[in-house]
Structure 1
């Protein structure tokens, strides 16, 4: 076999038209991710892109939008419990999940402003 996978470039989440301001508030203002420029030829499609560690998260506009409530990206976080406390202080509802505690994984979920499920986790 002459090919191999080297990782993930980006994750795309869908959102309704006009989502950009709310996405910026949530992903940059609350989570602290840096907004990155979209290529000029993609700007007319709407949406916004962010940097999350070594990866990118693209928020794309989808007509007849329906949030992803089961399929989700999972983000690795250092000091997950501090991040969880920060979110609670900012009135973000987190959904704790200890299904992987035997594997020494702490994790929780939340919904982005558009109802998409996001997982945050840390190996302990």
Structure 2
């Protein structure tokens, strides 16, 4: 069985051209603390914030794309969880590296993206 620990982060999407408005809302209005995103994400229109012990990741998304919106759950053993899902015929996808986190994602039967990760 998968040993669930907590929500690690939530990915929220914003439309193209609204990065400044999103930064003002999440940073100024909500008062969330900006945090640096890993270099592995390159020069993307994403902004990360901390809300207590949970991260909020904002990413630009065109409505014609398959959505990147997702919750990310911290679990005890990411390799065992991946093996279990793949044994049930669920396709898993490697995600860009985040230092100190081993992670992957998958889609549920309703096309919702879910990320599972294990902290080092």
- Write 1 or 2 for the structure with the bigger share of strand: 2
Higher RCO (CA-CA < 8 Å; seq separation 6+): 2
